[in-house]
Amino acid sequence: MGKVCSKCKQDKPLEEFAKWSQGKDGKNCYCRVCIRELRKLRNNKLAEKELLPTLSSKVCHECKQEKVIEEFYRISDRRNGSSYCKDCCSKLRKSHEYKERDKIHVC
């Protein structure tokens, strides 16, 4: 009795599938060879992310001064954080101009 791998679509014996309690037959849906390939791909992508250069400073869009990265708020959905330094963010938040100019969250 065999099983078809969901990744490579090949019919293989059950011994080529790892145990997985959540599977309806108690086996993983991917064969061991495909799981190994998927892990290599994932590990390579993680290694590439670690090699990305990290910024030590950047230029504020408001005051146009180059400042160390710690002077900018960290925003999780943006790789480099806020475009405005902390000082400019607080000034912009207080000003009426900020509310009119930018309807979205910039700091």
Is residue 6 located within the same domain as residue 44? yes
Is residue 11 assigned to a domain?
yes
Between the alpha carbon of residue 106 and those of residues 42, 56, 57, 71, 77, the distances in Å are 32, 21, 18, 15, 12
Which pLDDT score, from 0 to 100, does residue 57 have? 84
Question: Which ranges of the chain would DSSP assign to H, the alpha helix?
Answer: 32-51, 86-94, 96-101
Ramachandran category for residue 39: left, alpha or beta (phi over 0 → left; psi -120 to 50 → alpha): alpha
Domain count of the chain?
2
Which pLDDT score, from 0 to 100, does residue 105 have? 54
Domain containing residue 63: 57-101
Which pLDDT score, from 0 to 100, does residue 99 have? 60
| Cα 88 from Cα 44, distance rounded (Å) | 39
| pLDDT digits (tens), the chain, 107 positions | 789 999 999 999 999 999 988 888 899 999 999 999 999 998 887 766 655 556 788 898 889 999 888 888 877 666 666 788 889 888 888 776 656 555 555 55
In sequence order, the β-bridge partners of residue 57 are 68
Is residue 106 assigned to a domain?
no
Which pLDDT score, from 0 to 100, does residue 53 have? 58
